[in-house]
Structure 1
């Protein structure tokens, strides 16, 4: 009969003891521990580690690269690049290229310098060099790694010398840049600064003209020359600009033995107006003929020589 609990089998008997109720013990175990921290705030989470790495990276001045790799095409050009000590990352030779004296010399120089040699098809070499006349031989130069302008001050401080920095304003010829780098290294400067845009960069031509000095002296890039000059002034440097109508002639310069920034303008155009106004002093190089002018490389060499003599 339905509902008759006395009927056999109507009640399931169990040998197990009754379980305890939830009570306070389980309730306490279910209590929350507050809101879950964000991933970037949890030390063991990868987002936390990534955030810390980003903070460390921002604290350090970043080095900039000069864009894409550059190609040097042609047998004479490749040999000259290898002789000049330009940091070639690879020498590429076309399949079936005639083994003349230049090609054998390129192979020997590359082998001596530990530079990789790769054989590719002529069509592939045409593509890599963008259709340049390569004569079956080309070299790849990696993008130059520019220093941060502040690195130059640090370099002078580490050596224990008053900073001497050369800044190029509107110099667009890479050979002039290479010549300035060579003179700066020879006369004890601590680095060269160039503009990031509309200015010469460390190309293969600049490397070659520097005669290896670019491997020893840092070249830095800045977005704004005027702003960087003001930053150097705030760091305690005097800024002089080379100008034909300068107030002081180079032999009479009395700032040579202190922290100094020398600004060199382009041949013909000279210093831009804002750069000239930012300089603490405009200095001229005495010339026998007022119509004569010096290019940026020569002007920088003469000035750095005079400063080196004054410091000695």
Structure 2
């Protein structure tokens, strides 16, 4: 089990194969429990049992596969340098049904991420989306692994609450979305309008954010209904993907 957990920490393909991802630390493990995520396996150290006994008791009552691990062994299962002594192996929540409600509901707000590669950016975007009340995130399959340890830590539990849909055909998804809503490609140049000029309050909307270095692909831009940009008066040519997504999401919900 120690080797199994360690492999899940290191291998994205193994996480997909097993349909499990590791969650470390007292707060995130408790978030997983409170979010009704399915904790398949739970591990805790001897020291953690003394410090976080109440949380460990709640999780172990829900998870039949609970293991107490020796202090010297526990770090071998973890991604963090100084682990808190709690580790859950969690099944991703199936919230894909949220994306099937577009025809039934109005004024849903979605974000599409195409080839976002930096785990720090991904974690920031998901955490911000959760804070601002975005209804769901569509992520292209060539983006970084949303269930990697670094992304999970960066989301601060948002990954348990946000509906997330990973697709091999993000352009096709946007085109289908246009049948019941409006899509916006976020670009640095040659935009139709500034993001501040868009009325996001009427109808279902989706805004697309692209790769950190190259932005959105031509195909994704063409799939969208409109090109928008974030007005900048300084000298920078573009913004960090996480910052750009935050600004666009703020405009979508304000």
Q: TM-score, normalised by structure 1?
A: 0.61
In the other structure, the counterpart of 1:82 is 29
Q: 1:122 to 1:236 in 2, by over 3 A?
A: same
Q: Deviations over 1:223-273 (max 9, x none)?
A: 21111111112x322110111112311111245522211101122221112
Q: Which has the higher contact order (CA 8 A, sep 6+)?
A: 2
Correspondence 1:111 to 2:60: no
SS class of match (1:180): helix
User: Superposition pairs for residues 47-58 of structure 1, below 5 Å?
Assistant: none
Q: 1:204 to 1:226 in 2, by over 3 A?
A: same
Distance in 2 between the 1:136 and 1:164 partners?
36
Distance in 1 between the 2:87 and 2:139 partners?
26
Unmatched segments (≥5 aa) in structure 1: 1-64
In the other structure, the counterpart of 1:41 is none
Is the contact between residue 25 and residue 83 of structure 2 (CA under 8 Å) also seen in structure 1?
Answer: no
Distance in 1 between the 2:84 and 2:235 partners?
49
Distance in 2 between the 1:271 and 1:135 partners?
37
Distance in 2 between the 1:71 and 1:186 partners?
23
CA positional deviation for 1:173: 2.7
Is the contact between residue 164 and residue 191 of structure 1 (CA under 8 Å) also seen in structure 2?
Answer: yes
In the other structure, the counterpart of 1:166 is 111
Distance in 1 between the 2:71 and 2:172 partners?
48
Distance in 2 between the 1:308 and 1:132 partners?
35
CA positional deviation for 1:210: 2.5
Worse-superposed segment, 258-267 or 80-89: 80-89
CA positional deviation for 1:191: 0.6
Q: TM-score, normalised by structure 2?
A: 0.73
Distance in 2 between the 1:191 and 1:131 partners?
28
Correspondence 1:91 to 2:42: yes
Q: Deviations over 1:179-218 (max 9, x none)?
A: 3233323333221011234433233433333333333321
Is the contact between residue 90 and residue 115 of structure 1 (CA under 8 Å) also seen in structure 2?
Answer: no
User: Superposition pairs for residues 117-136 of structure 1, below 5 Å?
Assistant: 117-120=66-69, 129=77
In the other structure, the counterpart of 1:19 is none
In the other structure, the counterpart of 1:240 is 184
Q: Deviations over 1:75-97 (max 9, x none)?
A: xx533533654755443246xx6
Is the contact between residue 157 and residue 163 of structure 1 (CA under 8 Å) also seen in structure 2?
Answer: no
Unmatched segments (≥5 aa) in structure 2: 1-14
Number of residues of Structure 1 aligned to a counterpart in Structure 2:
231
Distance in 2 between the 1:142 and 1:83 partners?
12
Is the contact between residue 89 and residue 139 of structure 1 (CA under 8 Å) also seen in structure 2?
Answer: no
SS class of match (1:266): coil
Is the contact between residue 167 and residue 261 of structure 1 (CA under 8 Å) also seen in structure 2?
Answer: yes
Distance in 1 between the 2:42 and 2:176 partners?
42
CA RMSD of aligned residues (A): 3.4
Distance in 1 between the 2:70 and 2:218 partners?
52
The structure having more radius of gyration, on CA atoms, is 1
CA positional deviation for 1:135: 7.0
In the other structure, the counterpart of 1:286 is 231
SS class of match (1:142): strand
Distance in 2 between the 1:165 and 1:205 partners?
23
In the other structure, the counterpart of 1:26 is none
Query: Which of 89, 98, 102 pairs up with 1:151?
Result: 98
